[in-house]
Structure 1
Amino acid sequence: MMDDWIDYYDSTHTIYVSKLHRDVHFRQIAEDIAGYIPSPDATVLDYSCGEALSAGRVADACGRLILAEPAPGVRGRLIARFAPNVKIRVRSLDDLRNMEENSLDLAVMNSVAQYMTPQELDTALTVVGRLLKPGGQLVLGDILQPDVGMAQDVIALLRFALAHGFLADALWGLARTALSDYRELRSKIGLRRYSEAEMIGKLTAAGFAASRAAQNIGHNPSRMTFVARKPG
């Protein structure tokens, strides 16, 4: 399941309706992630980070930022974009398996779980759990709920667009998306959804003490964010 989505995001896709949409999307995510950083010298992992255009904002708030990205084309752009920033390092997901145990203060997986099978997510949680220091946190954001459909996503996008001045582009982009590879792929393999209780149970089974955050990361309030602490 995840491989299909990796291929999609590594292609020339139209998930963002405009450059402004893309820029404010990544800026808000970066600001939300920065709010979870526990100290200025913290080591932070952004797992499956995507283009991470505003990662510099996150790096400004921590000591070291690791951007882990599975799509090779995206990873190459990240390396080129952030090469001058000595705080940022770009890695593949496979590289994480060779990282030092108990080396992270914070890990973030935002808008990732919906593209994974439950087994893929369990594997990722195991990898992250090994890397986190005792007492370190995993923030799992943008979790889709079973009873929340595409209509809520559309409403959230339009409100976000209205607030940031790209409403006309959003309306045109929604029409374009209805005929796009994204809509076809979403219909074909779907997106994984979890109830609050299911996600708490999954995180607990992975060894974390977890709770739902008051607000979701990003612009969509109908989705959920969870904060999971490694014991110790």
Structure 2
Amino acid sequence: MVASWREFWDRDTPIYVNARHKARHYAGLARDIAALVPHPDAAILDHGSGEALSADQVASACGRLLLCESSPRQRDALRQRFAGIPTITILAPEEVAELPAASLDLVVANSLAQYLTASELDACLRDWRRALRPGGRLILADVIPPHLGAVADAAALLAFARRDGFLLAALLGLARTVVSDYRSLRQRLGLTRHGEAEMLARLTAAGFAAERMPRNLGHNQGRMAFVARVGGDV
């Protein structure tokens, strides 16, 4: 039996219903992150990058891209995938705490907060705050609000699938998820949820000036994204 989210993400998962779903997900996410890059020489951290299939698109928009992933299996795959791109570096989560102070221009943490406890998230906020330069930004995205359930997530997936041409696979994939480890783990461990006001207060307490973004990264607009800046206005 899978004992933790970290263990779950270190193996093949049923999250993506087929190769097209996975490719379209990562392509859209890379496009969204590349649009946030402040300047061509920027140093960017994508914390909780997953497979990052289109990270080369982000790397082409910035000076240095750090991909942080907790799964050793995924880190090995990332190193192989991007071995030919010297501006991409792969990190384990514990290495983020060792980054030089004020060395990053942008941190993106997408679909990460729901898998962290409150104390784990606060520790990440401290590490990100220290590593960001004055004026640097944190994008904390795909945050699940308290009222959003699995039905809403399924509806968002089906809308995405209809738009991008994998609707039948999505329907079959949702059926498989019902009997998968993901569903049982979600019921057993749960996903951490955050209200808008609570997340803004948490970001402020960590030393950021923060606000909710008008749009989430990726396809699920039922979830929230926040922009938090080090020093000054957001």
TM-score class, shorter: over 0.9
Amino acid in structure 1 at the alignment position of 2:102? N
Residue matched to 1:158: 158
Report the Cα distance in structure 1 between the residues aligned to 2:208 and 2:45, rounded to whole angstroms.
17
What's the counterpart of residue 132 of structure 1? 132
What is the alpha-carbon distance in structure 2 between the residues aligned to residue 163 and residue 13 of structure 1? 23
- Alpha-carbon separation, structure 1, partners of 2:21 and 2:62: 26
Residue 20 of structure 1 is matched in structure 2 by: 20
Q: Which amino acid aligns with 1:26?
A: Y
C-alpha displacement at 1:134, in angstroms?
Answer: 0.7
State the 1:147 CA deviation. 0.9
Find the counterpart in structure 1 of residue 202 from structure 2: 202
Q: TM-score when scaled to structure 1?
A: 0.98
Secondary structure at the counterpart of residue 20 of structure 2: helix
CA distance in 1 between partners of 2:13 and 2:139 (Å): 27
Partner SS, residue 109 of structure 1? strand
> Which ranges in structure 2 are unaligned for 5 or more consecutive residues?
none
Query: Secondary structure at the residue paired with 2:4?
Result: helix
Runs of 4 or more, structure 1, over 4 Å off, are none
Q: Amino acid of the residue matched to residue 163 of structure 1?
A: R
Question: What's the CA shift for 1:97?
Answer: 1.8
The CA deviation at 1:156 is: 0.4
Match of 1:186 in 2: 186
Structure 1: runs of 5+ lacking an equivalent = none
1:218 and 1:116 map into 2 onto residues whose CA distance is 20
Q: Which amino acid aligns with 2:61?
A: A
Q: Does 1:223 align with 2:223?
A: yes
Q: How does 1:50-89 map to 2 (within 5 A)?
A: 50-89=50-89
Task: Give the count of matched residue pairs.
Answer: 230
Shift of 1:86: 1.3
Report % sequence identity.
Answer: 49
Q: Which amino acid aligns with 1:160?
A: F
